[in-house]
């Protein structure tokens, strides 16, 4: 099995899985029917991407692996998503902040992944980038609305950005598998996206009249499977059926 490629795909797909799962949990609880429908759409886009990635990963893994065995039957340490996407929905500002900080990265990332020498990954990227371009527009607009809205919303949006900031640097870390895949021109060299990322993020934050956090201390670990405490709960929920009723079809 192509171990590095497999891990590389999980690293991409797990981000969409956990973020999609978090957004999905909000369905029915949003600030208006319209925003509810919009957030569910984003969640559905992400799950669509997840399924394409995992189906590909399952093929690589063989041994009867399926999109579901990969999604539901790993233990905490085997999930390779970044810490950012597993952060909780403290309020709508956190939901939007998390989405925004991820979307800007996601767009830059997919833009490069389109050029991957792996045709499947390149095809998934080409399809997904249109979706993610919309996600970025949606979340950027909301960062501006909340940042430059009322006093209360500004405070909440600022808190969210300041709290989540510490998880942004990890987006540009590379695992050993990533590096190997970059060598083969399959993977995106994420270190090259960093400047553009902060440039875009900072421009939106400025437009939203928010302060750009100064903190230089960043959290990391997700890409190595060392997560924040939140992931365990997300997985308990997500995996409940597959764990309680093993080896069944649904």
Partner 1 sequence: MSEEQIKSLEKQFEARIARDEKIEPKDWMPEKYRKTHIRQISQHAHSEIVGMLPEGNWITRAPSLRRKVALLAKVQDEAGHGLYLYSACETLGISREELYEQLHTGKAKYSSIFNYPTVTWADMGAIGWLVDGAAIINQVPLCSTSYGPYARAMIRVCKEESFHQRQGFEIMLKLANGSPEQKDMAQDALNRWWWPSLMMLGPTDAESVHTEQSMKWKLKRKSNDDLRQQFIDQTVPQAELLGLTIPDEDLKWNEEKGCYDFGEIDWDEFWQVVKGHGPCNKKRMQDRVGAWEGGAWVRDAAMAYADKQQDKKEKQAV
Partner 2 sequence: MKKNWPLWEVFVRSKNGLEHRHFGSLHAADEQMALENARDVYTRRSEGVSIWVVESKHITASNPENNGELFEPAHDKVYRHPTFYDLPDEVKHM
Binding site for partner 2 (CB under 8 A): 32-34, 37-38, 41, 137-138, 141, 145
Stretch that binds partner 1, among 47-55, 75-83, 111-119, 132-140 (CB under 8 A): 47-55
Residue 148 interaction partner, one of partner 1, partner 2, none, beta carbon < 5-8 Å per kind: partner 1
Q: Which of 139, 153, 128, 129 is nearest to 99 (CA)?
A: 139
Q: Which is nearer to partner 1, 145 or 179 (CB)?
A: 145
For residue 158, the minimal CB distance to partner 1 (Å) is 12
Asked whether 234 and 18 are in contact (CB, 8 A), the reply is yes
Residue 25 interaction partner, one of partner 1, partner 2, none, beta carbon < 5-8 Å per kind: partner 1
Stretch that binds partner 1, among 3-11, 31-39, 109-117, 193-201 (CB under 8 A): 31-39
For residue 145, the minimal CB distance to partner 2 (Å) is 7
Residue 51 interaction partner, one of partner 1, partner 2, none, beta carbon < 5-8 Å per kind: partner 1
Please tell me what DSSP assigns to residue 245: S
For residues 131 and 188, give the distance between their C-alpha atoms in angstroms, rounded to a whole number: 19
Residues 6+ apart with CB under 8 A from 136: 100, 103, 104, 106, 107
For residue 113, the minimal CB distance to partner 2 (Å) is 25
Asked whether 82 and 222 are in contact (CB, 8 A), the reply is yes
Contact map string, positions 96 to 125, toward partner 1, x by CB under 8 A: ------------------------------
Tokens of residue 68, six digits: 């579901």
Q: Which is nearer to partner 1, 161 or 238 (CB)?
A: 238
The sign of the CA dihedral 212, 158, 164, 102 is negative
Residue 138 interaction partner, one of partner 2, partner 1, none, beta carbon < 5-8 Å per kind: partner 2
Q: Which of 2, 4, 7, 8 is nearest to 125 (CA)?
A: 8
**Does 94 contact partner 1 by CB under 8 A?**
no
Asked whether 129 and 116 are in contact (CB, 8 A), the reply is no
Q: Which is nearer to partner 2, 152 or 237 (CB)?
A: 152
Please tell me what DSSP assigns to residue 118: S
Tokens of residue 192, six digits: 């090259």
Q: Which is nearer to partner 1, 108 or 164 (CB)?
A: 164
For residue 212, the minimal CB distance to partner 2 (Å) is 24
Q: Which of 42, 75, 72 is nearest to 58 (CA)?
A: 72
**Does 35 contact partner 1 by CB under 8 A?**
yes
Residue with tokens 């991407």: 49
**Does 167 contact partner 1 by CB under 8 A?**
no
């Amino acid at each position: 099995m192509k171990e590095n490629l497999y891990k590389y795909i999980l690293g991409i797909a797990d981000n969409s899985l956990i973020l999609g799962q978090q957004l999905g949990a909000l369905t029915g609880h949003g600030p208006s029917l319209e925003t509810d429908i919009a957030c569910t759409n984003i969640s559905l886009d992400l799950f669509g991407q997840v399924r394409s990635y995992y189906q590909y990963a399952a093929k690589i893994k063989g041994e009867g692996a399926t999109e579901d065995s990969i999604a539901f039957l790993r233990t905490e340490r085997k999930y390779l998503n970044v810490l950012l996407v597993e952060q909780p929905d403290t309020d709508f500002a956190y939901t939007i902040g998390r989405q925004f900080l991820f979307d800007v990265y996601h767009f830059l990332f997919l833009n490069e992944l389109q050029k991957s020498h792996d045709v499947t990954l390149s095809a998934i990227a080409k399809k997904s980038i249109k979706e993610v371009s919309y996600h970025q527009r949606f979340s950027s607009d909301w960062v501006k609305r909340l940042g430059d809205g009322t006093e209360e919303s500004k405070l909440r949006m600022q808190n969210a950005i300041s709290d989540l900031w510490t998880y942004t640097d990890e987006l540009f870390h590379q695992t050993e598998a990533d590096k190997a895949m970059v060598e083969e021109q399959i993977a995106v060299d994420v270190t090259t996206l960093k400047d553009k990322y902060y440039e875009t993020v900072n421009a939106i934050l400025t437009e939203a009249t928010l302060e750009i956090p100064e903190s230089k201390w960043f959290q990391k670990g997700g890409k190595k499977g060392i997560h924040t405490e939140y992931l365990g709960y997300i997985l308990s929920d997500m995996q409940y059926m597959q764990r309680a009723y093993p080896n069944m079809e649904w």
